[in-house]
Copies of this chain bind each other. A is one copy, B any other.
């Protein structure tokens, strides 16, 4: 029955809520944590606001003709109960929660939270699938080693993943990278691992459809994880984020990237770094809700109308 947009308890897209991933093809799940952020906090409220704005998103993808709910069982399974006062303990809690999810075969679609959370998520994902390919959209490489003496915060998740062998490094691409840096070659580490780096400058003024054709080749048919930091997109589209960098991707390019992942063997996705209080209109969370829906639409086995 048709429901007015302002109406109803806010689960993601007002899907049914269930406590576990049991029986689901894909699950939306929140990780309301922001104590890994280096600048503006607020991403702890990302899941709440993404769910709120997701009432604008309808069930059928007009542009790609994907009808995810006709082929997959999908629910909102709530939030990981993070420990706001201990970032490392939160990482443990996240890892354990995701271990349970991935064991069921369900594909998790995560509403972040700051980018720190991708590290324990990938611990769980790689435990099941082995080292994964990674499509990483971000202004930052997030491959720092330490900050303020700490190895775990939102600038280091992919360094930690490399340390632990969670990534299939030849199948990693980072798109939208830009901004100033602390060292004269911040990208050395990434290049040494064999990551493909696509700088934001190389994306300006043009379609990324050709890029995505190359990336599909790079990824092949082995497991792939999509990690989308909303700051990969330009802050004009997504002002509500903690460490914005000027001159990023457009939302059109964001859609091209995600839609370009269709056909890949996607085993998990996240959308992180939405800090709603910095976005009076709510449109950053709305953008995030749309991007998560688009990710759902490119999961394996989603029905596509011809």
Contact = CB atoms under 8 A, between A and B. Distances in A.
Interface of A: 1-11, 17, 30, 32, 34-42, 44-45, 47-48, 51-52, 55-63, 65, 67, 76, 78-89, 147-150, 152-153, 178-187, 199-201, 204-207, 234-237, 239-240, 243-247, 250-252, 254-255, 277-283, 286-287, 290-291, 293, 305
Contacts of A281: 235, 239-240, 244, 278-280
A58 B180 contact: yes
Nearest to A256: B204
Q: How many copies does the complex hold?
A: 6
Interface of A is mostly: loop
Given A42-B42, A58-B180, A281-B278, A81 B1 contact: yes
13 contacts: A2-B148, A4-B44, A6-B32, A6-B44, A6-B47, A7-B82, A9-B78, A83-B150, A85-B148, A200-B252, A201-B252, A236-B283, A279-B280
B5 A38 contact: yes
Contacts of A246: 237, 251, 254-255, 286-287, 290-291
A28 to B, nearest CB: 11
B9 A10 contact: yes
A78 to B, nearest CB: 6
B84 A180 contact: no
Nearest to A203: B252
A279 to B, nearest CB: 7
Given A5-B39, A78-B9, A184-B305, A247 B239 contact: no
Contacts of A8: 78-79
Contacts of A39: 5-6, 55-56
Given A6-B32, A207-B205, A62 B178 contact: yes
Given A83-B149, A236-B236, A4 B58 contact: no
A290 to B, nearest CB: 5
B251 A250 contact: no
Contacts of A279: 280-281
A3 B93 CA distance: 13
Nearest to A148: B83
A200 B256 CA distance: 13
A179 B62 contact: yes
Nearest to A200: B252
Contacts of A52: 48, 52
